[in-house]
Structure 1
Amino acid sequence: MNATPQPNGQLGEGPHGREVRIERRFRAPIDDVWAAMTEPERLQRWIGRWEGDPATGRVAFFMTAEGDDVEPEEFAITECSPPHRFAADTSVGDGAWHLRFELSHEDGITTVVFAQALGDDPLGSVGPGWEYYLDRLARTLEGEDADDVDWHSYYPSMSEYYESLAR
């Protein structure tokens, strides 16, 4: 990627209180974006994969973009309304993350709003992390390689922006 990414997250109120929200727009059908964000084979291209039976309300998620030897995280699916809404809770270390995304489509553009409830994790790393992963998603939707997205373009350069939102 050539352009320096700019942070665009905002804080707002969500189902679990204050949350960081990051929006992306894609020139793609909503079903294609939904598939890229929920189907294990498509998800693997930009962030990781899940295993298990989502009908049980729980899956194991492997964040393989962090490396090949990652421990699974259990995701408790709290909402799944294809192709518009998904929400899940997961434990990360000693904390819990409440994640959700919403998709809408108008005039050939699918908009994704991704949100994570604020917890104990520093916003200066959470925000840049999700910006990075959503840009990796964008690359795969463009038919490009997500590995072209350089983490060092996001962190720590976006950290101050996100920390200022929390003040």
Structure 2
Amino acid sequence: MTAAPGPAGEVRRGPDGRSRLVFRRVFPDPIDEVWSAVTDPARCARWFGTWTGDARLGGTVALSLTSDEDSGGPPADTLITECDPPHRLAVQVTEGGDSAWELSVSLHPTGTGTVLTFEQVLPGTFSPADAGPGWHWYLDRLSAVLSGGPMPDWEATLAATAQHYPR
């Protein structure tokens, strides 16, 4: 059984004029629990990817994203540009000669739970269709790790979310 995908991301224009793909998820878990799932290497490996290196503000880690078929892709240099535990983490991921992916996670307490806002600044050559379904899948995987539920199926996630992101 596969959990239904979470809410669709929105495309927003940032103050710098660049497009951003933004997701908002609400978890019943306390902020420290969600922060740990996002930043602890062993927990992060269960839903997003593995990383090793200098995990501090200004440090660089080697990040390998998890995929449905294998244990991860080739490592990408990832610079930590903001780190304010347990509220905000921002990174720049550089793969080969491509431009950097700017990603951020912001956490805010709400009642006994946590609001997570995930954002990717879209590189100039990217359409939201290039990234939206994948971020759905990863955030649904985070939800599964936090809840102890089943991991989402990639093909089902793609089929359920692709229409939200026309090219």
Query: TM-score per shorter chain, which class?
Result: 0.7 to 0.9
In the alignment, which residue of structure 1 is the partner of 2:117?
A: 113
Counterpart position of 1:155: 158
Q: Given that residues 7 and 128 in structure 1 are in contact (C-alpha distance below 8 angstroms), is that contact kept between their aligned partners in structure 2?
A: no
Gaps of 5+ in 1: none
Provide the alpha-carbon RMSD of the alignment: 2.0
After TM superposition, give the deviation of residue 38 of structure 1 in Å.
0.6
Instruction: Kindly tell me the number of residue pairs found equivalent between the two proteins.
Output: 162
* 2:8 maps to 1:8: yes
TM-score (norm 2): 0.87
Question: Would the alpha carbon gap of residues 3 and 76 (structure 1) be closer, same or farther in structure 2, given more than 3 Å must change?
Answer: closer
Q: TM-score, normalised by structure 1?
A: 0.87
2:60 to 58, 61, 86: 58
> 1:35/1:14 Cα in 2 relative to 1: closer, same or farther (>3 Å)?
farther
SS in 1 for 2:165: helix
Report the counterpart of residue 75 of structure 2 in structure 1.
Answer: 72
Mapped contact 2:94–2:100 kept (Cα < 8 A): yes
* Residues 22-59 of structure 1: per-residue CA shift (max 9 Å, x gap): 11110001000000001100001111111012135111
* Corresponding residue for residue 31 of structure 2: 30
Structure 2 runs not aligned, ≥5 long: none
% same residue: 38
Aligned-residue offset at 1:6: 5.6
Q: Does 2:25 align with 1:20?
A: no
Higher helix share: 1
